[in-house]
Structure 1
Amino acid sequence: MNPVTFEDIAAGLPETLREDVQRAWERYREQAAEAGARIPGHPDFLRPLARVWAASEFVAQSCEREPELLAELLESGELLADTAHGELRARAGAAVAEVLNAFDLGEALRRFRRREMVRIAWRDLAGWAGLDEVLRELTELATACLQVALDRLHAWLCRELGTPKDSAGRPQSLVVLGMGKLGAGELNFSSDIDLIFAYPEPGRLGKRDGLSYEEFFTRLGQQLIEVLNRQTGEGFVYRVDMRLRPYGDSGPLVMDFDMLEEYYQSQGREWERYALIKAWPVAGDPAQCTELMELLRPFIYRRYLDYGAFEQLREMKTMIIRQVQRRGMEDNIKLGPGGIREVEFIGQAFQLIRGGQEPRLRLRQVQAVLGNLAYLDLLPRYAVERLIEAYRFLRRVENRVQAFADEQTHELPTDEAGRARLALAMGFPDWAALLKQLDRHRRFVEEQFQQVFGSPHTREEEGDRETEALGALWQGQLDDEAALALLDEIGFEQPDEAHRLLDQLHHSLESRAMGKRGRERLDRLMPLLLAAIGEARDPNETLARLVRLLETISGRSAYLALLVENPMALSQLVQLCDASPWIAAELTRHPILLDELLDPRTLYTPPSRKQLEAMLDRRFEDIAPDDLETQMDALRHFKQMAVLRVAAADVAGATPLMVVSDYLTAIAELVLQKVLTITWHHLVARHGVPRCGTGKARREAGFAIIGYGKLGGIELGYGSDLDLVFLNDGEGEEARTEGPKPLDNAVFFARLGQRIIHLLNTLTPAGVLYEVDMRLRPSGASGLLVTDMAAFAAYQHEEAWTWEHQALVRARGVAGDPDTLAAFEAVRREVLCRQRDPERLRREVRDMRSRMRTELARSESGRFDLKQGPGGIADIEFIVQYGVLRWAHEFPDLVRYSDNIRLLEGLAGAGLMPEDDVRVLGNAYRAYRKRVHNLTLQEVPALVYQGEFIQTRAAVLGIWKRIFEGGDS
């Protein structure tokens, strides 16, 4: 074979780079000949050599320094394939297997790192490895070096001084937290490694006056840094930066877990939360590493939405911009405009704000976080795709800038050769083509950054005289006359009352420990809020409602930040509180709902049932099956969010009455289905699946939830209770569960029913899910909580009163086993279609209605009770129920539905009621219920002035009298 010449490998190399590469090639050949090392001759291998060496002086010099390296990497197969997970740890262990002291440990690791960095850089620059593989291997290389070094140093120190142990006698290790890109698994080519050291528990070695564990682990940490950081003839392993630890350079090198937790909870600053998002244990005992991360999570991810993160990150970015401008770093691809840091800020802002509630955002990799922002509809998908594309491009540029000399730099080259080298490494024909693409990405990143972080209030607004004057009013800097005049000017019809409310709020908040930042946010918010309230229909009442909200959220300045940062949310808050005290009260009880005000497109468009189901499933994706507390909170937040959207659309007039009830009913059904799933799985895990029967006839026993009343009739309103009945079909031979702790089916289902009620009506910090009424079950409050299907059928056929059959008209299955639900529907149909004595039925229905009027109607002078008053809702419901019970034996299709409107239509369709009567009753029923909805949203009882609905009530009463007092059959 003819010897390989430079021309064989330099085809296509830019002239600017040829001379340097040719000299490197000649030196390499000389060193290889002197060392007797073989030069690889395969053309597929040599073809990218000139490109790799042109792009990386580090690789070329490493090959020259160790001429056998290329042949070894090629013949071992290591250069041609990526490494499996854990493989680098094994190689690092083998590299240090024979070392006996810290100095030799460091030298062995330096040689090992150089070998692996040459391999990684070659694969990257040759185009043999993608970005994700390169970042992963660079991270795994660093963690491998850290872990093997720590293992050796820890063992040597324990042999010398003794082993630190926890209170249970278990050995303790130093836990090394990797910060930044190391912790995120995205290490770049020549990065420092930012570390924090911790250990589980304090103590002493040996006797009382022995070395403290803090001293032991401090010494260990110092040795680890020395091994990695020391510059020798072999270079360094990694530059170590410890400045991110608590108190920075002035703080202790190591802390025990309790000290670390205490520091972050009591003194931790926002930038430290930001830094810890990417933190991950990169060395130490795995169990102790997990324990530490659990301790840190509450500090990193707040339980509530934290919109203060925008403000904090904006301030951090401003500091970076000043630094960039001061040092002339505009072409810094990390810190400059549109650089890597801006992409990271976008993702991490949402992590800090929402990570406490959204597990999908508790990730360390920027690309994964961005992808989930699109999945969660927090950023448009096209924007996320472009951001990821830009991020990947910028990271490739970063790696290739650093791979040239294994130096930590983020500056684009300014010399002709450097630009030609980077263009070649990035696969562009020249610098101009590369710069065009780079600028395209940086412009897009900068635009997106400004959209996310741009201050919502321009300088002109901040300098607006009205805003300044309202700020002075809030701060108490105006005299009474000027304050009242200003409030009158912006729209308050009772400025003296508004002034009193503001004084009340100011004094109420003065005694609260809001902190400097909280007060600053409140002072920024109040002028904006007052200006918006002045535009309301009833500014004084709206202010009164918002004062209560502000008193509630003042201790959590993140909610104040949400409103300051989002003018749209502030505007929607004022509009909704102006429209409905019920909505205002809901927001006050559950401030987490303020987040729903950010996007009017979703706020005023209630999701479909399919969308609701997907939203609920999404909330449970990352909740552990046994984490009941989190499940209960997730259910409550889901219900509150969904109902708020319905109410917002309702007050805006965007949703018809029947659709409002459909939405509210669908929400309740989905909640019940999820509650049943949770409780069923919990009990089955403990006791096994309930079964009954023997032999081949043995089967799983079923359970069903039956909705009565408004739930059964698909007519739920805001704040409605749920009338429920629980049924099972698990009686028979060998009726018991099959599990580790078997139970009789009756006991199993009783516990299931109790747990369902517990999940629904237990008061938690997130409120009550639903109040539950079980009095419609067989035998009422004295009956069993869960009724067997056979017993239910017998009761309905033999013991139930007529009013219970009336209730059955509006009953339907809402959750549970399909066979059990079908069995209930069969019983319902049989019972309702039974032939009855018309006169007796009429008398019993009429008597029950008379009793209800006496017991339930709220008789106030000059007021009409929409629900129980004569000619009201209950009269219409009784007319419908009477019609179904009277004629279902002849017209069984009458029992097909459970809601009053379709039942009325069924009676008309069968010719059993005049069309005019059905139209009157249907219109009256809709009008009454719409009014009840509206009154509920105004937080007033379902009572109207006697002069309202006069003709409607008279028409309903006329039909009532014809049916129940006129002898119609």
Structure 2
Amino acid sequence: MRQTEASANEGHWQQWRDWAEQNGVGVPEEAAFQEARARVWEASEFAALTCARDPQTLAALLADGDLERSLDAAAFKAQLGAALAEVEDEPGLQGALRRFRRRQMLRILFRDLAGWAGLDETLADLSALADCCIQESLRLLETWTRAELGTPHDGHARPQSLLVLGMGKLGARELNLSSDIDLIFAFPSAGPVVGGRRELSAEQFFSRLCQRLVQALNVKTADGFVFRVDTRLRPFGDAGPLAMSFDAMEGYYHAQAREWERYAMTKARVVAGEPEAAAELMAMLRPFVYRRYLDFGAIASLRNLKTLIDRELKRKGMADNIKLGPGGIREIEFIGQSFQLIRGGREPDLQIRPIQPVLALLEQKGLLDAETVAELTAAYRFLRNTENRLQGWRDEQTHSLPAAPAARERLARSMGYPDWPAFAQDLERHRERVQRHFDQVFADPDEQNGATHALAALWERDPDADEAAERLREAGFADPEQAAQRLVAFRETASRKGLSSRGETRLALVMPRLLEEVAASGAPDLTLERVLKVLEAVLGRTAYLDLLAEHPDALHQLVRLSAKSPWFGERTARQPLLLDELLDPRRLFEPLHRADLEQELEQLLSGVDAADLEQRMERLRLFAQGNRLRVAAADVTGAIPLMVVSDYLTEIAEVATAGSLSLTWHDLVARHGAPPGASEAAPGFIVVGYGKVGGIELGYNSDLDLVFLYDEAQAGRATEGARPVASEQFYVRLGQRLIHVMTTPTYSGVLYEVDMRLRPDGNKGMIARSLASFADYQAESAWTWEHQALVRARVIAGDAALAERFAAVRAQTLRQARDPEQLRADVRSMREKMRASLDKTRAGWFDLKQGAGGIADIEFMVQYAVLRWACEHPELTIWTDNIRLLETLIRVGRLPEAVGADLTAAYKALRALYHRNALQDTPGLVPDDQLGPERERVAAIWGELMGA
């Protein structure tokens, strides 16, 4: 049979040669062309018949050189535009489109089968061909329909046009050789048709236009067809209107759409329509497709969808379907799209359509390993090439491997194999790899990790109180009766909240595993109480139950960290979005440094409209909270040294403050314009951090002591905008808005509490003042305690040049010569006042910060020493943190080495205990028998240095 097909196709070639000879058309005789032509004619009856029946097409391609080059979208549009230049009606349009399509399909198919074009070019060319045919047809048909029916207007009396959404492979620009095109039609808003002979609505107009467009592309004439058009992906399917307004579409997708429609929308692209309206439509659809949280429900939905597909294929006996069958193209797409649906809302760079770049991005992000991506990409390319060879034979839409031996041999040869067994071996290898990776990604945790622990029955069948207590006692609970009561109370809470059937199913999956993890935690009583609070907080939000159900490792980390500290459970209960951080242990226990923090924040904010201030504030809070949780996780598990905890926490605060300032700057400049010469990079404004953030000693629950300063050179000038204000007023408003951005509660709480009382004149002072007036204040009016505070002050955000000037002012202030006795008396007096009002030391308990021999005593001694000797040792003004200041005091000989070492060791020990207390959500009090020697030594040094 293969010989018969080959002979027939060679006969078609001879027909073309005879025609060419009769019409004086040159026949390329180069060996390379002849070999390529033979490969094409063997692999495609469509190509052979097309040239035999319409010989001018190949002749034109040879004459103008198009057969030997790739074309871009502009070239397609120019060629089709020329072909349509004289078209005046729909029959003419249909004929011109089909002739154009025939020419381009022959060109694309020839280049593909000859090996002159790679897969990526073939898919791009086919997609560009479809785009061009849709766009040019719509251009003419919309003009003709308006001439007949009038012009559709929106609700504001403005003309409006149709938008065409390309779905599936067209949307992703991955169209194959004989594919349907899936289209959805939309228009901006309901309104009347103006200027027509009879009254029509915009929907009626656009429905008629859509019918004409579909007919122009889809109907089969003597010239064939352009593209088979499928409109069943539209809202309500065949039962829905052909075209819908944006509002109607939004209502459907956010209230009635099914989960598979989200999957389909990952590839949606506006292929025709006005750019502004297209951007509006995609912005409207994006929240439906990409959720702002990590959406692990998508895995279960896609798993279910694949099960339905498999069942249907099995029923129809279609195991050899390379698109939908086991290890087929659809499984590769499902893998990529599952990650897109889960993470695309939080990571906007995943909101792309073509599957190969998606896979590459997943490797870059560490979500799939390099070997997996390489195997999936190779399989995808192999399967898509196979799909094109199957469809290129007769220009028919098929995805099934042939059964006839001759057809199998032909397919193998077209793929570059000597025979079917060699091809089938590689095909099976690719499909097995795809199936394996698909099974790993979509493995059902219920099947893989079904709880077999004895505690599973506590949730699965709700035993009586005695049996429950006995099982809990055997599992190691110290107070099994109380633990049993907690479980009963939690079950009642879950019942009261009225979970959906899906929520009940997911909770039933989570609870047995949770109980098993809690029992193994080492502190089951406390841990159970803590993790049940988290589950209570997420009961009504199935997405988080999905996360814990689909990722047992995340559940394990929640239990593990809650066992070590109530801090995790309390914060996760308040902000369940923090559960997302438990997914990747590499990230969870490796906090980020500044450059990576900046990159992460930029990525988080990039997916939010610049005008959406509330959502950008929300993203800032998620950024800070998530990164603080990572630091705490690494801290309590010993993954990072304790003394770098504050370094990490301080960098998070700095990046969050800088991000807040950027957001605030843009918001205010949009209203008033910027001060002359100022820009985001050099705003003429700085944020000075005092206290713990200035001293790089931030804790988990610390607020930020801030002071805002601006460049006095801007005084007396106005901003350069439509609504100008004085520059001084601009900077005051900038400070006020910055406080608002950081402290106003959003869904996720506040970013940081901000304390402005350290600014000149305290609460009575201006929110922002010029650096020159700040310098004057420090030189002439500031109290000693304000100079003490300045020891720990540094710029944490804003203008780099102004920051250098601030550093000079600070250094000059701290290096003033002072009366040692008066200084000692001032510092000692301030310390006594502070201890009298703040020290919470009481019988049996010691205040780590304010108690005698505590943290504040060491800080005050360091501040005294800097102010006392900086005039002689300028290097004492370089650092703002106590550890390096102590090192400097030792180096310059102002503290004996043993004294400095004792203070350093005591400070580290006190800070370590303070951090631990913070993670236990307890105040800074410890039993008074802890750190006794260290406290006594600090108190003794205080007496020696401060004289009391």
- TM-score > 0.5, shorter chain as reference: yes
Cα distance, 1:395 vs structure 2: 1.4
Q: Which amino acid aligns with 2:325?
A: G
Q: Contact (CA 8 Å) 2:456, 2:515: kept in 1 or not?
A: no
**Native 8 Å contact 2:348 2:603 kept in 1:** no
* Displacement of 1:322: 2.2
Aligned to 2:897: 915
Query: In the alignment, is residue 244 of structure 1 matched against residue 237 of structure 2?
Result: no
Q: 1:577 aligns with which of 554, 562, 565?
A: 562
Does the 8 Å CA contact 2:675/2:714 hold for their aligned counterparts?
Answer: no
Structure 1 pair 346–95 and aligned structure 2 pair: CA distance change class (3 A): same
- Are 1:121 and 1:403, in contact at CA under 8 Å, matched by a contact in 2? yes
The answer to whether residue 913 in structure 2 is matched with residue 931 in structure 1 is yes
Match of 1:839 among 799, 806, 821: 821
Aligned to 1:4: none
Deviates more, 1:404-413 or 1:277-286: 277-286
Distance in 2 separating the partners of 1:139 and 1:607: 42
Alignment of 1:885 onto 2:867: yes
- Is 1:873 the counterpart of 2:862? The answer is no
Instruction: Give, in whole Å, the separation in 1 of the partners of 2:161 and 2:11.
Output: 49
Aligned 8 A contact 1:59 1:118 in 2:
yes
Alignment partner of 1:458 out of 432, 435, 447: 447
Counterpart of 2:686, as a letter, is: A
Separation of aligned partners in 2, 1:820 and 1:328: 74
Q: Which runs of 5+ in 1 are unaligned?
A: 1-13, 694-698
- The AA in structure 1 aligned to 2:136 is V
Q: CA offset at residue 223 of structure 1?
A: 3.2
| CA distance in structure 2 between the partners assigned to 1:32 and 1:126 by the alignment | 21
- Asked if 1:255 is matched to 2:240, the reply is no
Distance 1:364 1:662, change over 3 A: same
Q: Tell me whether 708-717 or 173-182 shows the greater mean CA deviation.
A: 173-182
> 2 CA distance for matches of 1:677 and 1:159?
51
Match of 1:334 in 2: 323
Q: Do the aligned residues in 2 keep the contact of 1:40 with 1:70 (CA within 8 Å)?
A: no
Q: Match for residue 269 of structure 1? A: 258
1:615 to 2:600 alignment: yes
Contact 2:322/2:400 (<8 A) preserved: yes
Matches within 5 A, 1:520-535: 520-535=505-520
CA deviation digits over 1:790-818, x for unaligned, max 9? 22222112111111111111222222333
- Following superposition, the deviation at residue 187 of structure 1 comes to 0.8
Paired amino acid for 1:51: R
Q: Distance in 2 between matches of 1:383 and 1:295?
A: 34
State whether structure 2 residue 281 is matched by structure 1 residue 292.
yes
Distance, in Å, in 2 between the alignment partners of 1:909 and 1:258 is 71
In 2 relative to 1, CA 796–394 (structure 1 residues): closer, same or farther, beyond 3 Å? same
Q: In the alignment, is the contact (CA less than 8 A) between 2:714 and 2:727 conserved in 1?
A: no
State the distance in 2 between where 1:808 and 1:904 align. 16
AA matched with 2:318: M
Q: Contact (CA 8 Å) 1:692, 1:730: kept in 2 or not?
A: no
- Residue 924 of structure 2 corresponds to 942
CA-CA distance at 1:52 after TM superposition: 1.0
| 1:599 maps to 2:584 | yes
Report how far residue 299 of structure 1 moved: 1.1
Answer yes or no: is the 8 Å Cα contact 1:690–1:700 preserved in 2. Answer: no
| SS across alignment from 1:815 | strand
- Is the contact between residue 683 and residue 798 of structure 2 (CA under 8 Å) also seen in structure 1? no
Q: Name the TM-score, length of structure 1 as normaliser.
A: 0.92
- Which residue of 2 is the match for residue 68 of structure 1? 56
* Distance in 1, Cα, partners of 2:81 & 2:489: 69
Listed as ranges, the matches of 1:106-505 within 5 Å are 106-203=94-191, 205=193, 210-458=199-447, 461-462=449-450, 464=452, 466=454, 469-473=457-461, 476=462, 478-505=463-490
Deviates more, 1:69-78 or 1:247-256: 247-256
What is the deviation of 1:618?
A: 3.3
Q: Residue 548 in 1 paired to residue 530 in 2?
A: no
Measure how far apart 1:621 and its partner are: 4.5
Percentage of pairs with the same residue = 52
Q: Residue type matched to 2:699 in 1?
A: G
Check if 1:730 corresponds to 2:719: no
What secondary structure, in the 3-state scheme, does the structure 2 residue paired with 1:707 have? strand
* Residues 395 and 701 of structure 1: CA distance in aligned 2, closer, same or farther (over 3 Å): closer
SS at match of 1:158: helix
Q: How far apart are residue 732 of structure 1 and its match?
A: 7.1
Change (3 A) 1:882 1:341: same
1:918-962 per-residue CA deviation (whole Å, 9 max, x = no partner) reads: 222222211111111111111111011222223322222122122
Equivalent residues of 1:871, 1:953 under 8 A apart = yes
Task: Answer yes or no: is the 8 Å Cα contact 1:692–1:735 preserved in 2.
Answer: no
Q: Structure 1 residue 686: deviation in Å?
A: 5.4
Contact (CA 8 Å) 2:183, 2:233: kept in 1 or not?
A: yes
User: C-alpha separation between the residues in 2 aligned to 1:817 and 1:220?
Assistant: 57
What RMSD, in angstroms, separates the aligned Cα atoms of the two structures? Answer: 2.7
1:670 paired to 2:652? no
**Deviation at 1:641?**
1.7
For residue 434 of structure 1, what is the amino acid of its counterpart? F
Q: For each residue in 1:78-106, what CA deviation from the matched residue of structure 2 results, as whole angstroms up to 9, or x when unmatched?
A: 22222232332343344344444434433
Amino acid of the residue matched to residue 169 of structure 1? A
Asked if 1:634 is matched to 2:619, the reply is: yes
Distance 2:396 2:75 in 1: 26
Q: Is the 8 A contact 2:149 2:197 kept in 1?
A: no
- Secondary structure at the residue paired with 2:55? coil
Change (3 A) 1:866 1:208: farther
Is the counterpart of residue 764 in structure 1 residue 746 in structure 2?
yes
Tell me the distance in 1 between the aligned counterparts of 2:685 and 2:205.
Answer: 61
Q: CA deviation at 1:736?
A: 4.7
Which of 49, 69, 73 pairs up with 1:81?
Answer: 69
Q: For residue 758 of structure 1, what is the amino acid of its counterpart? A: H
Counterpart in the other structure of 1:718: 700
Is the 2:684–2:799 contact (alpha carbons within 8 Å) kept by the matching residues of 1? yes
- 1:857 and 2:846 matched: no
Letter in 1 for 2:772: A
Moved more, 245-254 or 256-265: 245-254
Equivalent residue, structure 2, for 1:519: 504
Q: Deviations over 1:889-917 (max 9, x none)?
A: 22222222211122222222233223332
Q: Please report how far the alpha carbon of residue 228 of structure 1 lies from its aligned counterpart in structure 2 after TM superposition.
A: 2.6
Other-structure match for 2:937: 955
The one-letter amino acid paired with 1:357 is R
Give the C-alpha shift of residue 627 in structure 1: 4.4
Q: In 2, distance between residues paired with 1:402 and 1:638? A: 49
* CA distance 1:15–1:205, shift in 2 (3 Å): closer
Q: In the alignment, which residue of structure 1 is the partner of 2:547?
A: 562
> What's the secondary structure of 1:462's corresponding residue?
coil
TM-score (norm 2): 0.94
CA distance in 2 between counterparts of 1:56 and 1:90 reads: 28
C-alpha separation in 1, matches of 2:149 and 2:81: 24
Offset at residue 279 of structure 1 (A): 1.4
How far off is 1:16 after superposition? 8.8
Q: CA–CA distance in 2 between the matches of 1:752 and 1:80?
A: 61
Q: Which amino acid aligns with 1:65?
A: R
Deviations 1:612-653 (A, max 9, x none): 333333334455555433432332222112111110011112
Q: Which of 727-736 and 286-295 deviates more?
A: 727-736
Distance 1:157 1:886, change over 3 A: closer
User: Secondary structure, in 3 states, of the residue corresponding to 1:704?
Assistant: strand
What corresponds to 1:3 in structure 2? none
Quote how far apart the aligned CAs of 1:683 are. Answer: 4.3
1:683-734 superposed Cα distances (whole Å, 9 cap, x missing partner): 45655554599xxxxx977332221111111110002111112222333786
2: distance between equivalents of 1:22 and 1:799? 101
**CA shift in 2, pair 1:689/1:462, >3 Å:** closer
